[in-house]
Homo-oligomer: A and B are copies of this chain.
Amino acid sequence: MSAITTALTDWEHVQPPAARRLLTGAIAAFAERGYQATTTRDIASRAGMSPAALYVHYSSKEKLLFEISLYGHKAALDVLSSVEGSTPTERLQAMVSAFTVWHAEHHTVARVVQYELAALSPDHLAEVATYRRSISALMEKVLADGVSAGTFQVDDLPGTALALLSLSIDVARWYSPARQPPEALGSLHAALALRMVQA
């Protein structure tokens, strides 16, 4: 597990602890009810503080969302880019599996990353959009490699890449830990993905 992925798991890089409590409280609240339905009082009370204390650590509610979204996007990109494998087949399976596992394991953060983009300021949205384009590019690259090698047969490359990402991203919408372990879901999606593109 890379440094950034480990960091996302415990958020220990967010200092001081009060700022971390606010951030993890905000993640839980945003994932549960959405950004707009979450109040600063709600976030502060989850962190055991008064509403005013939030503004010592974050200049606004939107800035808190941005911190979560930015770090979440970095972690999601890291998960895809740190995959290893000597063939396109191996890499595609590892990518789809890891991306699905991440969306299941971190489904609260993933929900904020995937469904609260509209609440970001234009500047902040532009910044996370660069990470989103990198994620799409990685998926398109492995498909192109497989086509070149003759192991994949893909008619619509951008469309197929988007469909593969959809499979993992949509996990954030419905996943609940009670349903199944993330790894089982990752294996299923990796197998389905391979069948979708195999020559």
A residues whose Cβ falls under 8 Å from a Cβ of B:
32-34, 36-37, 114-115, 118-119, 155-156, 159-160, 162-163, 166-167, 169-171, 173-174, 180, 185, 188-189, 191-192, 195-198
Contact = CB atoms under 8 A, between A and B. Distances in A.
A8 B192 CA distance: 33
Assembly stoichiometry (copies) = 2
A86 B160 CA distance: 28
Nearest to A37: B36
Nearest to A154: B192
Nearest to A116: B34
Contacts of A195: 195-198
Contact of A189 (B33, B37, B114, B163): B163
Nearest to A119: B37
Nearest to A115: B115
A33 B162 CA distance: 23
19 contacts: A32-B118, A33-B36, A33-B118, A34-B34, A34-B118, A34-B119, A36-B36, A37-B118, A37-B119, A115-B115, A156-B188, A159-B180, A159-B185, A159-B188, A162-B174, A167-B167, A169-B173, A170-B173, A195-B195
Contacts of A196: 192, 195-196
Best-surrounded residue of A114, A119, A162, A180 (most CB of chain B within 10 A): A162
- List 5 tightest A-B contacts by C-beta distance, closest first: A36-B36, A166-B170, A36-B37, A170-B170, A159-B188
A166 B188 CA distance: 14
A192 B197 CA distance: 8
A196 to B, nearest CB: 5
A160 B192 contact: yes
A164 to B, nearest CB: 9
Given A167-B167, A191-B155, A114 B34 contact: no
A84 B160 CA distance: 26
